[in-house]
Structure 1
Amino acid sequence: MIHVVGIGLNGAEGLTSSTLELIAQAKILAGGDRHLSYFPQYGKKSLVIKDFSADLKKIKQFHQTLKSHETIVVLASGDPLYFGLGRLLLEKFSPEQLKFHPHLSSIQLAFNRLKMPWQDATIISAHGRSNELLIQALQKGAKKLAILTDGQNHPGAIANLCLSLGLTTTYQAWVCENLAATNEQIQAFDLPSLASLTATDFSPLNVVVLVKQKPENPLIDLDQLPILGIADHHFASFDDRPGMITKQPIRVQILAALSLQPRQIIWDIGAGTGSVAIEGARLCPQGKVFAIEKTSAGQRLIEQNCQRFQLQNVEVVAGSAPEVLANLPTPNRVFIGGNGGQLTSILQTCGERLAINGLVVMAIASLEHLSLALGWFKQQQWQVKVQQVQISQSVKFAELTRFDPLNPIYLLTAGRNSMGNDDLG
């Protein structure tokens, strides 16, 4: 039998008497340098695991020479079957040859030190792994995250990653070091104010915990905002879908295609969080923007964002297009960001209501909707221009930088009359 024993930073003191007896009777005691340092008296009976592949082969060879009453004990950190050595051992030995004796994992210890329930936490190991899963969890706005780190994906690197992603979600961060050891330390940091975290040195044995903070609705310092291209994190967004916002680089392209002019009437159909409506209203303070949104959650977010940006020229229109469009003023510009499966009907209404020399701009994600829109505009003999917008943004990983692509869109701009529509090119 091979006994796989989990051990913490408090060493032998954290083990039960029965587990210590197993170790005392072991023919071979294997583990990392740190694990074996808790049992210096075993000397030549010890096998230091440094090269997993080669050293597990040695264990297998020793196992084949054991007598029926002899055992091997392998020491591992925390719970061996939780991002631990247990998985590799199961690849080399049958389950019948192994018996596991788990210790408290660092994740358990971290949440218990923070006195925080963790059944709803997302656990990610960045130890020797890609940070793709971490990026996905952050972009989805995971409620709680516990991250196992390493020398490259250390707390400062994770902080830099959060900054580079431009998250709309705000997190509180804790770095839990040397859990259960005499030099245990837990430090709290506020995100996205990460300067102190990125500049701090930590013990290599640490766990990072991120907890999403309740959204606030503060007023924005308007003097600090750019004229065009407001950062995504300034907008209130959906709690469960923080990435469901027209991203800043795409939004800038949409606003450029709309070619806004003073005192215009603008329809934003399928407004979502209202990011396009908000920026359009700021660019045209003497105009009026009608943000059409069918979901109550979206309507509340648009109202919150209007309060944040202190705007009076955005009106939230609750309901589905095209039905709610009938009583709105004649638009000079129409942006269609969502259509609820009613694209043809919406285009028909826009065609009937659009002012002379008006423009319709669409952000389209699918080929099917692009084909449908192009077919409709061709039938109506409108002038059309289509751009494929594919933008990648730099993202930090460890000490390096790579590009992370946003979902590509087709940006369609259409006008009924060729005269006066120089914006179509």
Structure 2
Amino acid sequence: MITDRGTVEGCVHVIGIGRAGWSSLAIAEQNCLQQATVVVGSDRQLHSLRHLAGDLLPITHLHATLTEAKARWEQGDRLVILASGDPLCFGLGRLLLAYFPAAVLVFHPHVSSIQLAFSRLKLPWQDAAIASVHGREPDELIRLLRRGVEKIAVLTDGVHHPGAIATLYQALDLPQIYRIWVCENLGGADERVFELDLAIAPSLTADHFAPLNVVVLVRQEEARSLPPLPIIGIPDQHFLTFRDRPGLMTKGEIRLAILGALALMPAQVVWDIGAGTGSVAVEIGRLCPTSQVFAIEKTAMGVNLIEQNAQRFQVQNLQAVSGAAPEALNPLPRPDRVFIGGSGGNLAAILSHCQNVLNPGGCLVLAMATLESIHTALEWLRSHDWPYDLAQWNVARSLPIAQSHRLAPLNPVTIITAQPPTPKS
């Protein structure tokens, strides 16, 4: 078999082509096309290749066209298949590897639409993530947004068009802010790049955009400005969170359940152990301004976020405590309420410490996300005769999908509420 990339004899050459058609190709790719007896591509791609001597086979029904192309190749025709940009980057290449032996395929990548989009925005993109919603659900895009990935390129379709993507982003209520850019007809004379106005995004349809477009979301560093806030139930997106893990916080619905389980009263001492960003402690501090709230967190970044969030929400009665429990608990005043959101693997020791210092009439609430932590907590409570209640919270939030909505589940959380045993008379 001839393997010279400049020939087509025996091989199936897959050539990425730009919006400019024939003139966008290098000499080697033009030579391949001139030698081909069959060229497969879309009507748009074939339009500038009508001068070629070979048969031009437009893609009507994809699988039927590729089946015909394979049959022509098996009969000895010299076959070239055209693709947009880089065939192996969310392109036709993966499908062709199922039709043809990999050994006979020769790929000629062109500059992809994603490369062009970032070049137009003048952004380095080696650290960008790519999500395709072309003919598929936006689950990967949602995952990237919740992770707070700095730069995301999205390959769209007529259902998940730029306006729908912007509406989805707004519905996620993320703590981080993104600017959204639409890059249309890249490489063509009618190329257009513009920032999407989020205020009008919900009213936009696919007809407002060119069919060939790429969306780029770029995370911004500034925090959201605070609107008037409710007394209880601060929206998640207003908390400052971990830059690399923005979703790592107690979600609003779970915070409300925790606050209810704690049965808070005025002028209490409340511990929040494993406080993370301090979202639960902030809610407690705002709800009970006469109480003392201590947010214990072992990571320096977490302590910094707790302090920033306390300042952001003007909570004066919240103190961040740096250190790992139970050792970090020793200097603190005896608590009336204890919430444990994280234990760092020291759950049994933390529970034993709380048992020794919890004020009479106090209670303890745990939020558990793993089976192992639930098992540890229940084993300790049973062995120490603590009465407890257990409730598992399975929360799903609505997300817009095209013209409809679906429910996207959050991770289930088990909330355990416990009290010390009544002393025997």
Residue 4 of structure 2 corresponds to none
Identity %: 49
Q: Confirm or deny: 8 A CA contact 1:361 1:414 kept in the other structure.
A: yes
**In the alignment, structure 1 residue 180 sits paired with structure 2 residue 187:** yes
Q: Confirm or deny: 8 A CA contact 1:155 1:198 kept in the other structure.
A: no
Deviation at 1:376, TM superposition (A): 2.3
**Given the alignment, which residue of 76, 79, 86 partners 1:72?**
79
**Given the alignment, which residue of 242, 247, 257 partners 1:243?**
247
Cα deviations across residues 290-339 of structure 1 (Å, max 9, x unaligned)?
11111100000001101110111001111111112122112111101111
Aligned-residue CA RMSD (Å): 1.9
Deviation at 1:14, TM superposition (A): 1.1
Give SS of 1:195's match.
coil
**Given the alignment, which residue of 342, 349, 360 partners 1:345?**
349
Letter in 1 for 2:385: Q
**Given the alignment, which residue of 106, 119, 123 partners 1:112?**
119
Q: Distance in 1 between matches of 2:53 and 2:136?
A: 33
Residue 397 of structure 2 corresponds to 393
Residue 3 of structure 2 corresponds to none
Q: Distance in 2 between matches of 1:134 and 1:28?
A: 38
Q: Confirm or deny: 8 A CA contact 1:383 1:418 kept in the other structure.
A: no
Please list every run of 5 or more consecutive structure 2 residues that lacks an aligned counterpart in the other structure. 1-10
Give SS of 2:200's match.
helix
**Given the alignment, which residue of 15, 21, 24 partners 1:14?**
24
**In the alignment, structure 1 residue 195 sits paired with structure 2 residue 193:** no
Residue 159 of structure 1 corresponds to 166
Number of residue pairs the alignment of both structures matches: 410
Deviation at 1:41, TM superposition (A): 4.3
**Given the alignment, which residue of 297, 303, 311 partners 2:301?**
297
Q: Distance in 1 between matches of 2:12 and 2:374?
A: 62
Moved more, 302-311 or 3-12: 3-12
TM norm structure 2? 0.92
Cα deviations across residues 138-174 of structure 1 (Å, max 9, x unaligned)?
1111121111111111111211221222212211211
Q: Distance in 1 between matches of 2:196 and 2:264?
A: 42
Letter in 2 for 1:53: H
Deviation at 1:130, TM superposition (A): 2.5
**Given the alignment, which residue of 123, 128, 142 partners 1:121?**
128
TM norm structure 1? 0.92
Deviation at 1:233, TM superposition (A): 0.6
Give SS of 1:289's match.
strand
Letter in 2 for 1:113: R
Letter in 2 for 1:56: L
Q: Distance in 1 between matches of 2:190 and 2:202?
A: 21
**Given the alignment, which residue of 20, 41, 45 partners 1:31?**
41
Q: Distance in 2 between matches of 1:141 and 1:280?
A: 27
Cα deviations across residues 396-416 of structure 1 (Å, max 9, x unaligned)?
223332111111111111112
Q: Confirm or deny: 8 A CA contact 1:232 1:247 kept in the other structure.
A: yes
Letter in 2 for 1:138: L
Q: Distance in 2 between matches of 1:216 and 1:393?
A: 23
Check 1:20–1:198 CA distance in 2 against 1; reply closer, same or farther (3 A cut). farther
Residue 131 of structure 1 corresponds to 138
Residue 311 of structure 2 corresponds to 307
Residue 87 of structure 1 corresponds to 94
Check 1:28–1:368 CA distance in 2 against 1; reply closer, same or farther (3 A cut). closer
Deviation at 1:417, TM superposition (A): 5.3
Q: Distance in 2 between matches of 1:404 and 1:38?
A: 45
Q: Confirm or deny: 8 A CA contact 1:6 1:75 kept in the other structure.
A: yes
Q: Confirm or deny: 8 A CA contact 1:388 1:410 kept in the other structure.
A: yes
Q: Distance in 2 between matches of 1:154 and 1:132?
A: 15
Moved more, 368-377 or 402-411: 368-377
Check 1:20–1:337 CA distance in 2 against 1; reply closer, same or farther (3 A cut). same
Q: Distance in 2 between matches of 1:114 and 1:328?
A: 52
Q: Distance in 1 between matches of 2:388 and 2:97?
A: 61
Residue 328 of structure 1 corresponds to 332
Q: Confirm or deny: 8 A CA contact 1:217 1:308 kept in the other structure.
A: no
